[in-house]
A and B are shown apart, each in its own frame.
Chain A
Amino acid sequence: MSGLMNPTATATGHGRFTVVPARHPWRWVAGTAVAAVVILLVISALTNPRFGWDKVSLYFRDVAIVNGIGITLFLTVVCMALGVGLGVVLAVMQLSANPVVKASASAYVTIFRGTPVLVQLLFWFNLSALYPEITFGIPGVSLDANQLITPLAAAILGLGLNEAAYMSEIVRAGIQSIEQGQSEAAGALGMSRIQTLTRVVLPQAMRVIIPPTGNEFIGMLKTTSLVSVLAVPELLYSAQIIYSKNLQVVPLLLVASIWYIIITTVFSIGQGYLERRFSRGTSRTVPPTPVERLRKFFRVHSPLATGKGNAS
């Protein structure tokens, strides 16, 4: 009793009592069952010759594949840039006091989010059927739609304009997450609406906007595979070109898939660091970096730290 009351005695744990950790037998059962399934799947994949792993390693760094990765990355970056830029404009339009501006932005979002992006891509690809000549309504300007709308241009328009609709919702949510008091304080200091938006509201909204934008970026990377239907030689279509000649369908799809996983993983890690950066100055606890997470995992799950030892 006196040991529990004495602060120096309690510093090592619970005085004279030893802590017996709770046991979790069902965790062992579930873990074993899942591990068995995973091992069987891996063995099956490695031993089945039809996976063609030798072909996978043969084509993994093929020039066409690497060029395809380049086009995939290019499309991702350009379409996201278009999406973010136009998305901010649409978000501000949706928050406008002008009913016509507001309704137009809402209509845009409804149309571009309400139709499949594959359909939109095909539409842009076939724009010349609608407007054989593009004049922008300016006299003297006449551009041949067939030459202007190359497969790559159709891909950029289709993916970028579609992305803008999604980004506008993300940006709008970010802007609306900033409390009214911030705009009022800026207004009371005489700052104009534009200054309030660009100097006070948007920088704070970034913390809310960045994480879903990272997800959109990774989503976009995978969605670019859709433009294979427009014969743009990105990663998937480059693989398709090769397997249409040598008929090694599965190995080449595996090559593309492995590359997609590698790139998305790298982006996810980058996204974590970016979120960390933007949460600075606003939140007290920053999320751990992947490296920190890994260290913690090994600290907790290493066979040496069973949790049965003494608390210190």
Chain B
Amino acid sequence: MTIESINATGQVPLVRAQDVRKSFGPHQVLKGIDLEVSSGEVVCLIGASGSGKSTFLRCVNHLEKIDGGLLWVEDRVVGYRIKGDKLHEQSHNEICADRTDIGMVFQHFNLFPHMTVLENLMEAPLRVLKQRKDEVRRRALGLLEQVGLEQKAHAYPRHLSGGQQQRVAIARALCMQPKLMLFDEPTSALDPELVGEVLRVMKDLAKSGMTMIVVTHEMGFARDVADRVVFMHDGRIIEEGAAETVINHPQHERTRAFLSAVL
């Protein structure tokens, strides 16, 4: 049924973008993105503000609706059902169901301020996946331990530092047991001394084999952790390749200019 989604190596990539386009009004933000992310891969999207990295990331779990091209996650087309040669737009409930195996971490954490840390983690597994409470609770506490915040389980988000909040947000996304994690500039809103603790958690996650797409300005993290780095400029992918190659030996003039500005 999804012959198109199988690539040359015969594997089904976890994420596959084909000529993805997106406009906000007259402004075209994505001008044809082609990208494949295999299972277990860590891909960093880098580029200047406004280059379309965050927009692309938000398209992957349908927080933004694409205007052209196709986006696949596993064997599903994001936002559509395929019937013959027709794409039927998904209902909101179907979109929600598809999002349950994609975790997302936002720049501004977006924790629920009226819930404790533990309630933040347990909310979606209980309400959306309808899992058993004791099971979810055990998993949530385990994840909090994993991000080093087990003693904060009953604190409210506002009592935590930015770095702690972002680690909770990562644990909240993981509590849904996703197959793919999206990070939208996870350290951009943090005080410099708090960036390290969040990157450490992400590094551990990468080591555990999680598939990750990370929009970031942290070149050190990209170099050390990413399998692949993708440089975007003005809605297009200009250069992509092994992290080491792209960051240390960029081929394209734009990439060089960007890297010399941020490094």
The chain A residues found within 8 Å of chain B, CB to CB, are: 181-182, 184-193, 195, 199-200, 203-204, 281-282, 284
Contact = CB atoms under 8 A, between A and B. Distances in A.
Nearest to B92: A193
B110 A191 contact: no
A212 B111 CA distance: 26
A203 B116 CA distance: 13
Interface string B59-73: 001010000000000
A192 B92 contact: yes
Interface of B: 61, 63, 92-93, 96-97, 99-100, 102-104, 106, 108, 110-114, 123-124, 127-129, 156, 158, 172-173, 176
Nearest to A200: B112
A199 B104 CA distance: 19
30 contacts: A181-B108, A181-B110, A182-B110, A184-B63, A185-B106, A185-B111, A186-B112, A186-B124, A187-B63, A189-B100, A189-B123, A190-B96, A190-B97, A190-B99, A190-B100, A190-B128, A190-B129, A191-B96, A191-B128, A192-B92, A192-B96, A192-B128, A193-B92, A199-B123, A200-B112, A203-B114, A281-B113, A281-B114, A282-B114, A284-B158
Contact of A182 (B63, B92, B112): B112
Contacts of A284: 158
Contacts of A192: 92-93, 96, 128
| Prevailing SS type, chain A contact patch | helix
A191 B127 contact: yes
A188 B123 contact: no
Contact of B61 (A188, A191, A195): A188
Contacts of A199: 123, 127
Contacts of B173: 188-189
Nearest to B63: A184
A188 B120 CA distance: 13
Nearest 4 CB-CB pairs, A to B?
A185-B110, A189-B124, A190-B100, A188-B104
A191 B113 CA distance: 17
Contacts of B92: 192-193
A184 B113 contact: no
A189 B99 contact: yes
A126 B69 CA distance: 62
Contacts of A203: 114
Given A190-B96, A190-B124, A191-B124, A184 B114 contact: no
B90 to A, nearest CB: 13
- Best-buried of B100, B110, B123 by chain A (most CB within 10 Å): B110
Contact of A204 (B61, B113, B129): B113
Nearest to A283: B158
Given A188-B173, A192-B96, 13 more contacts: A184-B63, A184-B110, A186-B112, A188-B61, A188-B104, A189-B99, A190-B129, A191-B96, A195-B128, A204-B113, A281-B156, A282-B113, A284-B158
A200 B124 CA distance: 11
A187 B156 contact: no
Contacts of A187: 63, 96, 99
B96 A204 contact: no
A184 B156 CA distance: 20
Contacts of B156: 281
A200 B114 CA distance: 8
A188 B105 CA distance: 9
B46 to A, nearest CB: 22
B106 A184 contact: yes
Contact of B112 (A185, A188, A190): A185
A282 B106 CA distance: 20
Interface centre among A187, A188, A192, A204 (most CB of B within 10 A): A188
Nearest to B110: A185
Contacts of A181: 106, 108, 110
Contacts of A204: 112-114
